[in-house]
């Protein structure tokens, strides 16, 4: 039997993100269990595996090797197409979440400024009422003032509710992005240890382990151990 293993050109390391992307693509019966993600797509059952460092991969029978078996070729091709689609959508999902966070922050600032404006408006209404004899106003004028105050108070309540909902939405998307960042951090730490360990087993020693978090860059340099 001949198999091929795909891990992609990007590191897909967040299982929950993979699950959401699979749902967007149209996969069903998605289940995350231990080191595997199972689902159904295009009429086939598919299992994605999680490596030691958390990278999501796919192992399928090689369609080239089994090119004479149309059933195997169709199944393997469907699996590979889904994986390619997943790999394409994974970074898009992250960018969409980042954009969602930015928009929610802007929405919160807009709501906050409007709340300040309404609060000042209410204060001005109360101050104006103190400076005039309310009872001496005509019925129409009193009605107008009362309606203005009710309208401002109602809008203030709506803004408080909108701000609460916006904060919940912001916390949700921030939690998702934090989870993705932690998954990638774990991937890098495990991968670094594995590279260093394999190097030492092969007679190499670590000479540099440079990490620049702002640019998301990691550089490991190994040098051959000197023997006398």
| Distance separating alpha carbons of residues 182 and 179, to the nearest angstrom | 5
The pLDDT profile of the chain, 228 residues, written as one tens digit per residue, is 688 888 878 889 999 999 999 999 999 999 999 899 999 999 999 999 998 888 999 999 998 888 899 999 999 999 999 999 999 999 999 999 999 999 999 999 999 999 999 999 888 887 777 766 655 666 666 677 778 888 999 999 999 999 999 999 999 999 999 999 999 888 888 887 877 787 777 777 776 666 666 555 666 676 776 665
What is the reported pLDDT for 210? 64
pTM given for the model: 0.78
37, 18 in Cβ contact below 8 A?
A: yes
What is the reported pLDDT for 115? 96
Domains of the chain plus CATH, in order, are 3-94 (3.30.310), 96-195 (1.10.287)
What is the reported pLDDT for 173? 96
What is the reported pLDDT for 147? 84
What is the reported pLDDT for 136? 61
């Amino acid at each position: 039997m001949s198999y091929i293993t795909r891990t992609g050109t990007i590191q897909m390391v967040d299982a929950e993100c993979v699950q959401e992307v699979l749902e967007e693509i149209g996969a069903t019966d998605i289940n995350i269990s231990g080191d595997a993600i199972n689902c159904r797509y295009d009429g086939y059952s598919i299992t994605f595996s999680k490596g030691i460092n958390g990278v999501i991969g796919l192992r399928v029978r090689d369609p080239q090797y089994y090119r004479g078996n149309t059933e195997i070729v169709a199944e393997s091709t469907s699996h590979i197409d889904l994986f390619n689609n997943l790999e394409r959508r994974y970074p898009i999902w992250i960018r969409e979440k980042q954009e969602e966070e930015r928009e929610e922050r802007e929405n919160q600032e807009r709501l906050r400024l409007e709340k300040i404006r309404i609060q000042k408006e209410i204060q001005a209404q109360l101050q104006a009422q103190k400076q005039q004899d309310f009872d001496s106003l005509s019925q129409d004028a009193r009605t107008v003032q009362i309606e203005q105050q009710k309208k401002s108070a109602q809008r203030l309540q709506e803004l408080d509710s909108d701000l609460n909902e916006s904060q919940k939405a912001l916390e949700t998307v921030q939690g998702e992005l934090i989870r993705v960042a932690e998954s990638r951090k774990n991937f890098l730490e495990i991968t670094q240890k594995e590279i260093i360990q394999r190097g030492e087993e092969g007679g190499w020693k670590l000479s540099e382990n440079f990490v620049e978090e702002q640019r998301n860059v990691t550089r490991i340099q190994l040098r051959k151990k000197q023997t006398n």
